[in-house]
Amino acid sequence: MSQLLIKQRVFSWSDTYDVYDEKMQAKYYVKADLFSLGKSIHIYDKATNEEVGYIKQKVLVLLQEYEIFIHGQSVGRIKRLFSFLKPKFEVDYGGWQVEGDLFGWSYRCEANGQTVFYVQKKLLSWGDTYILDIVDETEELPALLVNIAIDAACHDGSSGSHSD
């Protein structure tokens, strides 16, 4: 089991996050391109500054859809589904299914009836802050990418500051 804390940088021109491990050591940083056709969000390993993954929004689609890349290879996609009350997402990666709570502040991801990860938004914090609990540590990077894609889909149309 591993845990990541994802903290938005409030004063930034584009969506930017710092990601910390359970010991509050910086592990990743996330930065969106300021100018691109559709959102393009990059995830970097903090220790090496190497890009380890990115998310690219598909354009000209009815509901938000993002393609997920790890080390330059497409590994799947996430698509927001039309739903009432609770946000739902179709994830084309490992049979994952993601459903949010009524307010979209927490999400559970499951595969084959087993929890893969759980995300909870930390309330009353400066900027968006999420706690990501991952059951299998080998799924840490895909879980982070899916979480960032969900955040982008839920806040489509905003850049920098989110209104929840």
For residue 141, the enclosing domain spans 2-75+117-154
Are 115 and 107 in contact by the 8 Å Cβ rule? The answer is no
Q: Is residue 66 part of a domain?
A: yes
- The answer, as to whether pTM is greater than 0.95, is no
Q: Is residue 80 part of a domain?
A: no
Alpha helices in 18-139 (DSSP H): none
Q: What share of the chain is helix, strand, coil (3-state, %, to 5)?
A: 10, 45, 45
pLDDT at 12 over 60: no
Residue 146 CA to residue 131 CA, distance in Å, equals 14
pLDDT digit string, tens, across residues 103-131: 667 889 999 889 999 999 887 666 678 89
Q: Is residue 163 part of a domain?
A: no
pLDDT digit string, tens, across residues 97-109: 888 876 667 889 9
**How many domains does the chain contain in total?**
1
